[in-house]
Amino acid sequence: MLAASRQLEPESLGDVVALGELALDGVLRPVPGVLAIALSLKDKGKRLLLPSATAREAAVVGGVRVYALEHLHQAVSFLRGTQPVEPTCVDLSSLWQPPGEPGGDLSEVKGQAVAKRALEVAVIFGVDR
């Protein structure tokens, strides 16, 4: 709508994919599925504009420039080039945690009788995958 009303130049949107719910006050709200969208954009040279709440999720995909935005005004300023926004970066090594001490048991799992039985059989036979 901003390009159609000439508030933004249409050329400035050629490499932009923007996702999010726009609240009536201009706040950008998160939407589901940003990881799948980021994967589909991998290595295509697109800029992905997302609400801040979901930007880190999409930023784990390499080859996509993800920008976290809070408000429509910020998005417009960024697209006009008047407000710089750094791409969101995620240190992938911080996402992986080494296995800790074994804990819990299947008594906490409700239902899933077939899955629990399969897990018990796998443990008995020493299957690790």
Q: Is residue 57 part of a domain?
A: yes
pLDDT tens-digit map of 51-86: 999 999 999 998 999 999 999 999 999 999 999 999
Q: Is residue 115 part of a domain?
A: no
Percent of the chain's residues with pLDDT above 90 = 56
Question: Would you tell me how many other CB atoms lie within 10 Å of the CB of residue 112?
Answer: 11
Q: Is the pTM of this model over 0.75?
A: no
Q: Is residue 85 part of a domain?
A: yes
Quick check: helix, strand or coil at residue 59?
helix
Q: Is residue 110 part of a domain?
A: no
Domain CATH code at residue 87: 3.30.230.10
Q: Which domain holds residue 67?
A: 10-92
Q: Is residue 119 part of a domain?
A: no
Contacts of residue 45, defined as CB under 8 A and 6 or more positions apart, other chains included, come to: 15
The count of domains in the chain is 1
Q: Is residue 76 part of a domain?
A: yes
Residue with tokens 């690790």: 128
Does residue 109 surpass a pLDDT of 70? yes
